[in-house]
């Protein structure tokens, strides 16, 4: 039956976390976001949160249901998330702005650790997160039979 498909527990656990991420985006709908090196609020920020909330919800439902479209939505979401994060990584001005904003909330963090160290840690963190996203996409490809794709070798199920 459906519960016996290889990868069900892992994939559905991820689905729950994507749905929770969607809820967090919607809860944060009025929060400012960093876009193109500056913080924006209002309608633009709300659209950003609504877009990602909808995308994460679609990814979660797609993973839970295990239909072919679910794997496609995951790939689309991973590509869009990657483009956004790579653009951020290439925009040192945006990174400095973010660090300045966060450090104003936590005191003398920048002075204590140093701006270059914080930039390196931030970049490494984003690269690790992107690696995890793409690693999960690789896992979903290996478990593509969960989504109804045929032609998967028996030994890899």
pLDDT band (50, 70, 90) for residue 3: very low
| pLDDT (tens digit per residue) in 49-60 | 999 999 999 999
Q: Are 119 and 89 in contact (CB under 8 A)?
A: no
Instruction: Return the pLDDT at 107.
Output: 64
- Most confident of the ranges 1-10, 16-25, 108-117: 16-25
Instruction: Return the pLDDT at 55.
Output: 97
Cα separation of 61 and 94, whole Å?
32
Average per-residue pLDDT for the chain: 89
For 110-139, give one letter per residue: b (16+ CB within 10 A) or e. beeeeeeebeeebeeeeeeebeebeebbee
| pLDDT (tens digit per residue) in 61-102 | 999 999 999 999 999 999 999 998 999 899 888 888 887 777
For residue 38, what is the DSSP state? E
User: Shortest CA distance to 119 belongs to which of 88, 148, 73?
Assistant: 88
For residue 145, what is the DSSP state? G
pTM of the model: 0.84
Q: Which two tokens stand for residue 103?
A: 């450090």
pLDDT band (50, 70, 90) for residue 129: very high
Cα separation of 80 and 18, whole Å?
15
**Residue 35's beta-bridge partner residues?**
38
Cα separation of 131 and 135, whole Å?
6
């Amino acid at each position: 039956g459906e519960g016996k498909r290889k990868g069900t527990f892992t994939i559905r656990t991820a689905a729950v976390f994507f749905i929770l991420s969607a809820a967090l985006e919607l809860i944060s709908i009025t929060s400012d976001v960093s876009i193109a090196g500056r913080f924006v609020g209002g309608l633009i920020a709300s659209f950003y949160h609504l877009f990602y909330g909808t995308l994460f919800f679609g990814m979660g439902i797609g993973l839970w249901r295990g239909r072919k479209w679910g794997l496609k939505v995951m790939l689309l979401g991973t590509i869009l998330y990657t483009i956004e994060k790579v653009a951020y990584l290439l925009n040192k001005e945006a990174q400095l702005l973010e660090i300045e904003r966060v450090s104003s909330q936590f005191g003398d963090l920048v002075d204590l650790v140093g701006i270059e160290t914080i930039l390196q840690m931030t970049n490494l963190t984003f690269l690790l997160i992107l690696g995890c996203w793409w690693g999960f996409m690789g896992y979903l490809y290996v478990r593509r039979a969960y989504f109804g794709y045929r032609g998967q070798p028996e030994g890899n199920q």
